[in-house]
């Protein structure tokens, strides 16, 4: 509460100039003081009356469509895992589309039996080693046959749609870390390491045959001497690798300064110079058989035509300055791109133009992977245990 002197000074400033002079007269008789006191109170009351403040009204901002909590075509699925887990891969049993598995860091294996609406932790005793904290990188099913690989080197196999899993021993001389596996048939699979080794098995993983004659490092050591540009900067491992439905591979070098391709029957990986100034973040296959290419900093490029090429053209995207990390095609026309800080983009014309799903801006996570298992079932995987399910 203000002191009496402060209140008097404030009220004094509200009085007319002629009245102020009376208050400031230094000497006065008792009767003059009495009269002036009465006048002071009268004028003070008149001056204060208009200062009554109106009731306080709190301002509430108007609701905006951009602030809608729900995603337009996706819903978030909350998982029973630690917040720090990064989700890495997802797959469903073809014979039972409601039954699937979700992998991640920190020994994360989750299972669903309702199409991905709810998930629960799956315990696999042979994968619970006290001395290791496995990072499960890839899962794949063909019929009831399924495979899981991870780092440190671990290979799991099932022949009953994941009801039981067995651990398959691996050679200690395996070049590189296993990063991808594809179930190809009964007791058969194809496996890729981050050093470019490709192996195939037809007896449940007990024997593997090399599909390429040498690792990528060996290939580049040979081609550098023949003048292949950029290969001399290669550090020996892949940053990303993606497989097309017909068995072709595209991989990005660990520094992102060039990429490599492989087709069934080729003895070696084929290195390619990047056609863009910025380093490559990721590459993959479009639904029409062409390539998409992401660069660090948020750029998106599409190859001209289909097949393997070094000719790309840039497509304008609204990534808000965040990097785009993956692209997944639902159909030949519709695809989704995901990236840092909840960036989620959609195209309905094969990638020629993209629009941002602004509702995803509210997701405080990096979205690393877009997986469409068919035209009605899709998922986006991110860090901090973020999983989005496609609603259509």
Between 14 and 343, the more confident residue is: 343
Residue 130 to residue 242: CA distance in whole angstroms: 32
Strand partners, 283: 293
Contact yes or no for 145/187 (Cβ under 8 A): yes
Q: State how far Cα 10 lies from the chain centre.
A: 60
Of 204, 291, 188, give the one whose Cα is nearest residue 242. Answer: 291
Query: Domain map of the chain by residue range?
Result: 275-391
Tell whether omega for the bond before 152 is within 30 degrees of 0, i.e. cis: yes
Of 136, 129, 132, 75, give the one whose Cα is nearest residue 110. Answer: 136
Which pLDDT score, from 0 to 100, does residue 173 have?
A: 86
Look at residue 159 and tell me whether its pLDDT is greater than 60. Answer: yes
Look at residue 232 and tell me whether its pLDDT is greater than 90. Answer: no
Q: Spell out a b/e string for 160-175, using b for 16 or more CB atoms within 10 Å of the CB, else e.
A: ebbeebebbebeeebb
Two structure tokens written together for 273: 């110079």
Percent of the chain whose pLDDT exceeds 70: 78
Look at residue 328 and tell me whether its pLDDT is greater than 60. Answer: yes
Look at residue 46 and tell me whether its pLDDT is greater than 90. Answer: no
Section 316-343 average pLDDT: 91
- What is the separation, in whole angstroms, between the first and last Cα of the chain? 62
Distances (CA, A) of 16 to 44, 47, 355, 360: 11, 10, 65, 61
pLDDT in tens, 87-141: 999 999 999 999 999 999 999 999 999 999 999 999 999 898 767 899 999 999 9
Q: State how far Cα 255 lies from the chain centre.
A: 20
Between 142 and 72, the more confident residue is: 142
Which pLDDT score, from 0 to 100, does residue 40 have?
A: 42
Look at residue 64 and tell me whether its pLDDT is greater than 70. Answer: no
**What is this structure's pTM?**
0.79
Look at residue 63 and tell me whether its pLDDT is greater than 60. Answer: no
Between 153 and 33, the more confident residue is: 153
Which pLDDT score, from 0 to 100, does residue 32 have?
A: 46
Look at residue 353 and tell me whether its pLDDT is greater than 90. Answer: yes
Contact yes or no for 284/297 (Cβ under 8 A): no
Residue whose tokens read 């110079």: 273
Residue 244 to residue 232: CA distance in whole angstroms: 27
Of 123, 180, 187, give the one whose Cα is nearest residue 148. Answer: 180
Residue 363 CB contacts under 8 Å (≥ 6 apart), including other chains: 76, 342, 344, 382, 386, 388
Which pLDDT score, from 0 to 100, does residue 6 have?
A: 39
Q: Spell out a b/e string for 284-293, using b for 16 or more CB atoms within 10 Å of the CB, else e.
A: bbbbebbbbb
How does the average pLDDT of the chain come out, rounded? 82
Q: Which of 28-37, 127-136, 148-157, 208-217 has the lowest mean pLDDT?
A: 28-37
Which pLDDT score, from 0 to 100, does residue 8 have?
A: 37
Provide CATH code, domain 275-391: 2.130.10.10
């Amino acid at each position: 509460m203000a002191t009496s002197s402060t209140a008097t000074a404030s009220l004094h400033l509200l009085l007319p100039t002629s009245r102020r002079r009376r208050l400031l007269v230094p000497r006065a008789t008792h009767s003059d003081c009495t009269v002036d006191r009465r006048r002071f109170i009268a004028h003070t009351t008149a001056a204060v009356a208009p200062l009554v403040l109106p009731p306080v009204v709190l301002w509430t901002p108007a609701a905006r469509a951009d602030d809608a909590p729900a995603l337009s075509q996706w819903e978030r699925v909350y998982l029973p895992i630690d917040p720090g887990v990064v989700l890495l891969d997802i797959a469903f049993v073809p014979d039972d589309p409601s039954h699937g598995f979700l992998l991640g860091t920190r020994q994360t294996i989750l299972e669903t039996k309702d199409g991905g609406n709810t998930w629960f932790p799956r315990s696999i005793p042979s994968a619970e080693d006290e001395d290791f904290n496995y990072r499960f990188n890839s899962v794949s099913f063909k019929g009831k046959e399924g495979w899981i690989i991870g780092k440190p080197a671990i290979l799991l196999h099932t022949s009953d749609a994941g009801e039981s899993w067995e651990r398959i021993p691996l050679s200690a001389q395996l070049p590189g870390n296993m990063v991808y596996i594809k179930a190809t048939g009964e007791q058969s699979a194809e496996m890729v390491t981050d050093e470019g080794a490709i192996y195939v098995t037809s007896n449940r993983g007990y024997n593997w045959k090399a599909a390429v004659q040498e690792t990528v490092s060996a290939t580049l050591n040979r081609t550098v001497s023949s003048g292949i540009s950029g290969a001399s900067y290669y550090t020996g491992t892949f940053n990303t690798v993606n497989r097309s439905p017909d068995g072709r591979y595209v991989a990005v070098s660990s520094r992102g300064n060039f990429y490599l391709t492989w087709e069934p029957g080729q003895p070696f990986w084929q290195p390619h110079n990047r056609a863009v100034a910025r380093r490559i973040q990721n590459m993959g296959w479009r639904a029409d058989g062409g390539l998409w290419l992401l660069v660090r900093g948020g750029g998106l490029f599409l190859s001209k035509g289909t097949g393997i090429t070094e000719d790309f053209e840039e497509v304008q995207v609204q990534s808000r300055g965040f990097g785009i990390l993956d692209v997944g095609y639902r159909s030949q026309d519709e695809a989704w791109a995901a990236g840092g800080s909840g960036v989620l983009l959609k195209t309905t014309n094969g990638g020629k133009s993209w629009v941002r799903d602004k509702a995803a801006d509210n997701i405080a996570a990096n979205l690393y992977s877009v997986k469409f298992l068919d035209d009605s079932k899709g998922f986006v995987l991110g860090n901090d245990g973020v999983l989005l399910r496609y609603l259509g």
